[in-house]
Structure 1
Amino acid sequence: MTEVLLIVGLIVAVFVGYNIGGATTGPAFGPAVGANVITKLMAAALMSVFFFLGAVTIGPNVVTTLGDELVHTTDIFTLRANVAVLFFIGSALFVGNYAGVPASTSMTAVGAIAALGLATGQLNLAVLGEIVIWWIVAPIIGFWVAGIVGRYFYPRINAWIAIEASDGDRKMITVDRSGAIPRLRFGDDANRREITGALIVVGIGCLMGFSSGTSNIANAIAPIYGTGEIEMMPLILLGSIAVAVGCFTIARRTLDTLGNDITNLPLTAAIVVAVISSTLVIGLSFIGIPASFVVIATMSIIGLGWGRATRTTTIPDAARGEETRVSVGALTAEEEGEEPPEIGTEDPTDIPKASDLFDPSTTARVILMQNVVPIISTVGAFFTFRFVPIF
């Protein structure tokens, strides 16, 4: 019976990893895909590789937090309980992925494990409190840092980089397989500045994939690791393979949402969002906090758009109650070689409405599901462990 439960637990862990791949690929490579820099297939391949690298290096720190520290004793991680925990994590994430919304894997996993600890009286409230505080603070930091960049620095950054998304279905970076060794190929009309910018945004996407691995591998394997039945490294390998499968399959839906539906990002904006998000996530992973990767990236996108849309109004004008004048133009208002205009001097026709930068209905759906999915996992797990006798 023990062996059967262990096998079932591993199968459910694979299901969780599959959904993690679907949920995290969008925030990491959605900007690059949405800006037509790389294909979805290339994004999936890069995400798989760099997720694994993050999982085997810094990932064990977060596995320890969820598998050892979130509860007072690991005795509650029985094989039967682990199957239930992983089932709720995987099922809740699947709901978000099916809806095309990259829900937070960290919130979902911590919610299920915390529900087990609460139902059994073994929840470490101090550790949970620290995690939750960072979940609240980190997206706020991401929003405001991105907002400040959008308002005060974005035009200057855009003048330095001056890169635009590729038109139509043409990708700026593709893989040429005509020779014996595959090699990268750039668009025929891409100049050196555009190629450099494209490499930067893809590189930062890889960095975000790495940071996702450091934080999210624990969400799939921590309960199994807590039992002591299997060593950590084999579990990390198994979980990373499952994540890769999710990257190549269900992640296509979240890539559409983060890359196309929620906002129309040019490469300059994609670079800004990626730098802010990856920096915050890696910083949290170093201190063992399972970071809310998806929420930070999403709030950074929204913050950048909001900050950019406020450039037509100075602070004194806003203090006098003058309405912010915004119109269309998106984040690509500046042309290459143009001198960035001062705040308050830009023509309203060159600055976007917030609704032109990010679609309000899609944004509302993303934010709603990012809260609903963890609630499903947490509430379902708590009532199961509290009232179902077999657990």
Structure 2
Amino acid sequence: MAALLLAVGVLVAAFVGYNIGGSSTGVAFGPAVGSTVVTKLGAAALMSVFALLGGWTIGRGVIHTMGGRIVPSSEFTLPASVGVLFFVGVALLISNRYGVPASTSMTAVGSIAGLGAATGTLRMATMGRIVSAWVVAPVLAFWICAVVGRYAYPYMDAVFRLDAADAPLFRWREGRVAYPVGVNPAASRRQFVGSGLVVAIGCYMAFSAGASNVANAVAPLVGGGYVGSSAGVLLAAAAIAVGAFTIARRTLDTVGNDLTDLPLLAALIVEAVSASLITVLSALGIPASLAVSATMCIVGLGWGRATRTVRANDALSGEGETTVSMGSLAADRADDPSDVPRIGEEDPEELAAADLFDPTAVGRVVILWVLTPSVAAAASFALFSLVPLAE
């Protein structure tokens, strides 16, 4: 019976990792595939390598937190481990089926917290640290990007002028496996530099996703001592790779996520800031949601850009008015940094361009940011209060 339960636990862990690979590849390499810099196969390969690297290095701290610091490791019996992973798998299944942006990290933590509450072993100090990070990280993401959007974005846009290439940078030989056979002579040096940045930041996102997400797949099994830490990382990374090479192709067809509609420079800023926040939290052993941080980065960057129509002292005195639109990121760029209008001199109509994404989507993410771990914790508490957890 124990061997069967362990096999079920490994299969559920692999299912979790498989779905993480499917969703995270689009987040990390959507801009790179959308701008024809890399193929879907190349994106999957890069995702596999850098997710493994993130999990093997920084991700171990998150595994230790979720596998023994929220509740004692002794609480992760095989039934408990399978139960926790079951809730994570169900959340991912619902997320992929209905497009609901459920956070696997928050669902996993909620499930473990429910186990701890049911057994009276929940360590409140650790949970308080994690929940505080969940509150602070999105706020920090918003304000970092808001400052960039208000004070630096138009100048960066004028200097770098990053645009998706109209045609592939390389000439490709088509077949079962496409591969480059030469450089597109029409491509400029600026396009190559921009493309290099797109790929580099995509790899950084993949590293961050691996560091944060391997624990969601294997922490209960590692915590219970059924799988070693290194073996757990390899299991999760292998499952993420399978997802990257299979179901991620669908998400890459639509360039993955809300970053699709962002200008390339804005997408890179959002990816760099959100990945940095999650990497830092992972290094501290704190599981957190990349989707929530990225969403708040998008909102903050657009809000900061739109507020350039009003000077700070006018806004505080109530003399200035502005219509904040996320479409401000799509406003016409200046040809030179010296041509960028000063704060308070921007044209409100120009910055009130068409919306980049549906604001209701942001509300949905924020609501589920609170709802997902809460429901997971309540369901886990109910299950583990009724079901015996002995081996």
State TM-score, norm by structure 2: 0.89
Change (3 A) 1:273 1:312: same
Q: Mapping of 1:1-391 within 5 angstroms?
A: 1-33=1-33, 37-71=37-71, 73-167=72-166, 170-171=167-168, 182-183=179-180, 189-252=186-249, 259=256, 261=258, 264-319=261-316, 320-325=318-323, 330-337=329-336, 339-353=339-353, 356-389=355-388
After superposition, the C-alpha distances for 1:6-62 in whole angstroms (9 at most, x for unaligned) are 101101111111222234334323444455554544433322221011111221111
**How far apart, CA to CA, are the structure 2 residues paired with 1:103 and 1:29?**
20
**How far apart, CA to CA, are the structure 2 residues paired with 1:298 and 1:254?**
17
Residue 304 of structure 1, CA deviation: 0.8
Residue 332 of structure 1, CA deviation: 5.0
3-state SS of 1:299 partner? helix
**How far apart, CA to CA, are the structure 2 residues paired with 1:88 and 1:171?**
42
Change (3 A) 1:324 1:202: same
State TM-score, norm by structure 1: 0.89
Could you tell me the percent identity over the aligned residues?
50
Change (3 A) 1:64 1:76: same
3-state SS of 2:99 partner? coil
Query: What amino acid does structure 1 have at the position aligned with 2:105?
Result: S
Residue 217 of structure 1, CA deviation: 0.5
Tell which deviates more after alignment, 275-284 or 358-367.
358-367
After superposition, the C-alpha distances for 1:170-197 in whole angstroms (9 at most, x for unaligned) are 555786568x994486655332112211
**How far apart, CA to CA, are the structure 2 residues paired with 1:315 and 1:174?**
50
Q: Is the 8 A contact 1:101 1:257 kept in 2?
A: no
Tell which deviates more after alignment, 231-240 or 19-28.
19-28
Q: Is the 8 A contact 1:39 1:171 kept in 2?
A: no
Q: Is the 8 A contact 1:2 1:79 kept in 2?
A: yes
Query: What amino acid does structure 1 have at the position aligned with 2:364?
Result: R
**How far apart, CA to CA, are the structure 2 residues paired with 1:181 and 1:171?**
13
Change (3 A) 1:256 1:95: farther
Change (3 A) 1:24 1:367: farther
After superposition, the C-alpha distances for 1:113-143 in whole angstroms (9 at most, x for unaligned) are 1111111111111111111111110111011
- Cα RMSD of the aligned pairs, angstroms, is 2.8
**How far apart, CA to CA, are the structure 1 residues paired with 2:204 and 2:351?**
31
Change (3 A) 1:34 1:298: farther
**How far apart, CA to CA, are the structure 2 residues paired with 1:233 and 1:331?**
45
Change (3 A) 1:192 1:262: closer
Residue 260 of structure 1, CA deviation: 5.7
Residue 105 of structure 1, CA deviation: 1.9
Query: What amino acid does structure 1 have at the position aligned with 2:87?
Result: F
**How far apart, CA to CA, are the structure 2 residues paired with 1:187 and 1:368?**
46
3-state SS of 1:310 partner? helix
Query: What amino acid does structure 2 have at the position aligned with 1:268?
Result: L
Aligned residues: 386
**How far apart, CA to CA, are the structure 1 residues paired with 2:15 and 2:389?**
23
